[in-house]
Amino acid sequence: MKLIPTRRRRRAVAIAVAALAAAAAAGCSSSGSSSTQPAAGTSSSAASASARASSGQKVTLTFWTWVPNMDKVVAIWNKTHPDIQVQVQTQAGGDQELTKLLTAAKAGNPPDLAQVEYQVLPTLVTNNYLANIAQYDGSLKSDFPAGNWNQVTLGTGNLYAVPQDAAPMALFYRADLFKKYGLTVPATWAQFAADATKLHSAAPGVYLGSFSAVDPGEFAGLTQQAGAQWWSASGSNWTVGIDDAASQKVASYWQGLVSSGGVDNQPQWTAAWNKGMNDGKYIAWVSDVWAPSDFPTTAPSGTGKWQMTELPQWTSGANLVGNWGGSSTGVMAGSKHQQASAQFAAWLNTDPTATAALVSDGGIYPADTAAEAALSAPPTYFSNQPNFWTLAKQYAAAAANVTWGPDVNVAYTEFQTAFGSAASGKGSFLSPLTAVQSTVVNDMKKSGFTVAAG
């Protein structure tokens, strides 16, 4: 008789251990709530700020951004605006900030202001996380290029953010090493491929850059140049054209370069990549006019050796470039101080002192067309190119028009998965492109959008 209770107890132990396992598994699913902890702290400070504001005292706004030295720019504002103090909370980068922003906004305690990349504006707007600030900042329209303004209004009468920087793509190359290997600075993609082949036979361990599957924005920019429209909207229908002929052309082109060995297949922004950029393993980088803010940390010993030139063209003599990133300053719908926030967003991106500081400290190319005065001196890293900002201005004028869809995050995630294995296995780049297209179409259909494949 003694056996039965013992056995029962053991079964109870078994259940308890199993429950522990399940709890541990469930713990991971609820980790989302714990990851919003820092944001919860933000909200309490915002709440106390609102209490102060209502009693006629000063307001503190929180601002999420990843522009380097933004605190210096904000210090200028804080000095002249004692009643509206802005507190910068530095973020790691665009993707990481979006992840946090979506979570914080869903949990109901977002920051007051956030730096938002153009391509994720529709995602935030369709989730109703961004405030419409047309009544405060709508008059700024004439300060910005039509292409940028269109991206922050999404073609509607509303205004969801103030454009901060324009981000036309450009090609960077090591002038000294191009000379050493006898390469011509490519004006077309055909020349770029010829350079890659020549370089590969001359120095097999040296590359004309690396195809990075972790940077879907870069690839998207390259397809824009070839004429791709990944998303377009008409009436109440979305059209998805990720797998269109232009994108396929770009994918095949880079697949060829990777498999022939002229271009490496390692992700960007890693320690290994930084080292390669610094010590001459990578002698070209398809990048963007915001690159000056990356170069000093990526390739500190390359000062005066790297040069910027126009992104190679598909047809000789053409004049069109894509966009990679670029961001705006948005006011979150959850902010209790939308007017003050909108006032700061306008100052940050149109005031001459602010844009000058953004250029000199943040190393970005302001979208504000009146900011030219700030752009006379080239970035320190590119002191060998006195006309650096003049070139940037030309590229910005040549940037392709873009419409972003409501689930760019889904597309980018799938891109990283599909192109990641294709790049490391040096396989076809066409099937990953199809995979991204079908994932995006399925995701949009599942959410209830009316979608047509382009």
Partner 1 sequence: MAPYAFVTPAVILYVLVLLIPIGYTIYLSLEKTEVSGLGLGAGARRQVFAGLSNYSSALADPAFDSSLLRVVIYSVILVPVMLGLALLFALLLDARRVRFQRFSRLSIFLPYAVPTVIATLLWGFLYLPTVSPFPEMLSKFGLSMPNLFTTHVALLSVANVGVWGGTGFNMIVMYTALRAVPSELYEAARIDGASQPQIALRVKIPMIAPALILTGVFSLITTLQVFNEPETLLPLTNTISQGWMPLMRIYNLAFDENNSYEAAALAVIIAVVMFAGSFFLLRASNKRVFQGR
Choose which of 112, 117, 310, 443 interacts with partner 1 (CB under 8 A): 443
Q: Which stretch binds partner 1 (CB under 8 A): 9-17, 305-313, 320-328, 350-358?
A: 9-17
Choose which of 60, 164, 247, 416 interacts with partner 1 (CB under 8 A): 416
CA angle 29/33/36 to nearest 5° reads 135
- Minimal distance, residue 279 CB to partner 1, in Å: 9
User: Judged by CB, which is closer to partner 1: 11, or 58?
Assistant: 11
- Minimal distance, residue 102 CB to partner 1, in Å: 5
Q: Which residues are paired to 321 by β-bridges? A: 399
User: Judged by CB, which is closer to partner 1: 122, or 147?
Assistant: 122
Handedness of CA 369, 143, 75, 119 (dihedral sign): negative
Choose which of 172, 230, 365, 449 interacts with partner 1 (CB under 8 A): 449
Identity at 349, one-letter amino acid code:
N
- Minimal distance, residue 105 CB to partner 1, in Å: 10
CA distance 373 to 369: 10
Does position 270 bind partner 1 by CB under 8 A? yes
Does position 24 bind partner 1 by CB under 8 A? yes
Q: What mask of x and - would describe binding to partner 1 in positions 26 to 65, judged by CB under 8 A? A: x-xxxxxx-x------------------------------
- Minimal distance, residue 230 CB to partner 1, in Å: 16
User: Judged by CB, which is closer to partner 1: 28, or 146?
Assistant: 28
- Minimal distance, residue 342 CB to partner 1, in Å: 18
Handedness of CA 301, 305, 309, 313 (dihedral sign): negative
Distance of CA 427 to the CA centre of its chain: 26
CA distance 326 to 329: 11
The count of residues in the chain is: 454
Handedness of CA 222, 144, 334, 158 (dihedral sign): negative
Handedness of CA 346, 352, 353, 354 (dihedral sign): positive
Beta strand 284-288 pairing with 169-174: antiparallel
Identity at 97, one-letter amino acid code:
E
- Minimal distance, residue 30 CB to partner 1, in Å: 4
The residues, ordered by sequence, that sit 6+ positions from 375 with a Cβ below 8 Å of its Cβ are: 359, 365, 366, 389, 390, 392, 393
- Minimal distance, residue 323 CB to partner 1, in Å: 21
Binding positions for partner 1, 89-108, rule CB under 8 A:
95, 98-99, 102-103, 106
Does position 421 bind partner 1 by CB under 8 A? yes
Does position 122 bind partner 1 by CB under 8 A? yes
Phi, psi of 83 (to 5 degrees): -85, -20
CA distance 155 to 164: 18
Q: What mask of x and - would describe binding to partner 1 in positions 155 to 174, judged by CB under 8 A? A: -x-x----------------
CA distance 415 to 212: 11
Choose which of 8, 14, 245, 316 interacts with partner 1 (CB under 8 A): 14
Q: Let me know: does 284 contact 176? Beta carbons within 8 Å.
A: no
Distance of CA 384 to the CA centre of its chain: 28
Q: CB 323: neighbour CB atoms within 10 A? A: 26
Binding positions for partner 1, 225-264, rule CB under 8 A:
233, 236, 238
User: Judged by CB, which is closer to partner 1: 289, or 423?
Assistant: 423
- Minimal distance, residue 132 CB to partner 1, in Å: 9
Does position 339 bind partner 1 by CB under 8 A? no
Does position 423 bind partner 1 by CB under 8 A? yes
| Residues touching partner 1, count (CB under 8 A) | 72
- Minimal distance, residue 422 CB to partner 1, in Å: 9
Q: Which residues are paired to 207 by β-bridges? A: 282
- Minimal distance, residue 127 CB to partner 1, in Å: 6
